[in-house]
């Protein structure tokens, strides 16, 4: 069993440079926001950065899937949050011990379903849905996620001649 990837041994420069691109892109994005308390959303965007910089030619790195997937994650998370955890249903759910867990799980399942039927599959976007339910929906989170997804898509496009799949 080989521990170090053969591609790294042949071309370590690509691995190092693309990892540094990811550091720079995520650092710049996070510099402008104060949502680090929303761990699930930040983790989702970190996973998206991994896909963009480690697997840039993967179908899940395309703008349709990157931006579309996070958009669906936002929609599903917001829908589940506002439909089940606020208003009249929110009062009912407050009395049920497992309501938050169930609504989080529902948002993930719904996002998977909608991404699959719209060909916008981007696995990290399900965590966006979960994060919105867990931390509450707000327009700041929506703007943050969409700006990050669009920024990653633009960076991928600008660097496409320099990025290669690292697998």
Residue range 39-74, pLDDT digits in tens: 788 889 999 999 999 999 999 999 999 999 999 999
Q: Is residue 39 part of a domain?
A: yes
Mean pLDDT of 98-113: 88
Burial (CB count <10 Å: 0-12, 13-18, 19+), residue 9: exposed
Segment among 87-91, 142-146, 147-151 with least mean pLDDT = 87-91
pLDDT value, residue 106: 93
Q: Which of 114, 149, 156 is nearest to 41 (CA)?
A: 149
134 within some domain:
yes
Tell me if 4 is assigned to some domain: no
Q: What is the rounded CA–CA span in Å between residue 84 and residue 12?
A: 49
- Cα separation, 46 vs 123, whole angstroms: 12
Q: Which domain holds residue 44?
A: 11-158
Structurally, how many domains does the chain consist of? Answer: 1
Selected residue with higher pLDDT from 11 and 15: 15
> What tokens were used for 126?
């399900």
Q: What percent of the chain has pLDDT over 70?
A: 89
Q: What are phi and psi of 162, to 5 degrees?
A: -105, -20
With bands split at pLDDT 50, 70 and 90, how would you rate the model's confidence at 95? low
Please say if the pLDDT value at position 31 is more than 80: no
Residue 50 lies in a domain: yes
Query: What percent helix, strand, coil does the chain show, rounded to 5?
Result: 75, 0, 25
The answer to whether residue 1 sits within a structural domain is no
Question: What's the rounded mean pLDDT across residues 104-124?
Answer: 95
pLDDT-wise least confident of 35-39, 69-73, 115-119: 35-39
The pLDDT score that the predictor gives to residue 33 is 58
Residue 2 domain flag: no
Residue 3 lies in a domain: no
The mean of the pLDDT values for the chain is 88
In a domain, 138, yes or no: yes
């Amino acid at each position: 069993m080989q521990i170090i990837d053969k591609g790294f041994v042949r071309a370590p420069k690509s691995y190092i440079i693309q990892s540094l691109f990811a550091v720079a892109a995520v650092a710049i994005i996070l510099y402008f926001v104060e949502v680090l308390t929303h761990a699930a959303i930040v983790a989702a965007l970190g996973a998206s950065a991994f896909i963009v910089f480690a697997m840039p030619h993967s179908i899940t790195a395309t703008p349709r899937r990157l931006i579309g997937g996070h958009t669906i994650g936002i929609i599903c998370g917001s829908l589940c949050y506002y439909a089940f955890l606020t208003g009249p249903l929110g009062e009912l759910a407050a009395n049920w011990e497992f309501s938050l867990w169930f609504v989080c799980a529902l948002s993930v399942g719904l996002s998977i379903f909608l991404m699959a039927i719209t060909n916008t599959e981007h696995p990290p976007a399900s965590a966006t849905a979960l994060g919105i339910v867990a931390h509450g929906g707000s327009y700041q989170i929506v703007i943050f996620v969409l700006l990050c997804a669009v920024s990653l898509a633009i960076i991928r496009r600008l660097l496409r001649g320099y990025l290669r799949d690292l697998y």
